[in-house]
Amino acid sequence: MNSNDDMDLASGISAFEAKHFNQAAQLLAPLADGGNVEAQYRMGIMCQNGLARAQNEADAIMWMRKAAEQGHALAQHGLGFMYLQGECVEKNEHEAFKWFKAAADQGLAGSQMTLGMMYEQGQGVEQDKEEAQKWYKMADANT
């Protein structure tokens, strides 16, 4: 990334966090197209929730998946949530588990807590109360 891209990314993230979504989309879309994982993650959120433009489920899943596949833990969690809830994609608890596990393995407490719940309830994975407790303890340690 060149210094202009760095500046656009910083400005785009600032605009996103300030809820100036039109400005954020203008700055982040070209970076997302260029493969920037942080821009892809935020574009996914904006498309999923109709921020800055009309809600676009296909773009939401595309951007979130691109960021998740690059190892972005929050995108992996977001993609897991999409599959768990059937939001923007067909509900698939096994696919949800896969993405939550990827984020949990990176230490994301929210994903660790979700895995605990999934193991406890046998959701997307065989029920295993001991494994559930293991993930709950990891989540507590990371919060």
The band of 4, judged by pLDDT with boundaries at 50, 70 and 90, is: confident
Q: What is the pLDDT of residue 5?
A: 85
- Tell me how far apart the alpha carbons of residues 11 and 72 are, in angstroms, rounded to a whole number: 20
Inter-residue contact 76 to 100 (CB < 8 Å): yes
Q: What is the pLDDT of residue 94?
A: 96
Q: What DSSP character marks residue 72?
A: -
Name the token pair of 26: 């203008």
Across the chain, what does the average pLDDT equal? 95
Inter-residue contact 104 to 125 (CB < 8 Å): no
Q: What is the mean pLDDT of residues 49-62?
A: 92
- Tell me how far apart the alpha carbons of residues 134 and 137 are, in angstroms, rounded to a whole number: 5
Residue type, 113: M
Closest by Cα among 137, 87, 136, 94 to 114: 136
Cα pseudo-dihedral 78, 36, 14, 19, rounded to 10: -40
The band of 1, judged by pLDDT with boundaries at 50, 70 and 90, is: low
- Tell me how far apart the alpha carbons of residues 92 and 78 are, in angstroms, rounded to a whole number: 14
The predicted-structure confidence for 106-130, as pLDDT tens digits, reads as follows 999 999 999 999 999 999 999 999 9
- Tell me how far apart the alpha carbons of residues 52 and 26 are, in angstroms, rounded to a whole number: 9
Inter-residue contact 42 to 28 (CB < 8 Å): yes
Closest by Cα among 104, 93, 96 to 79: 96
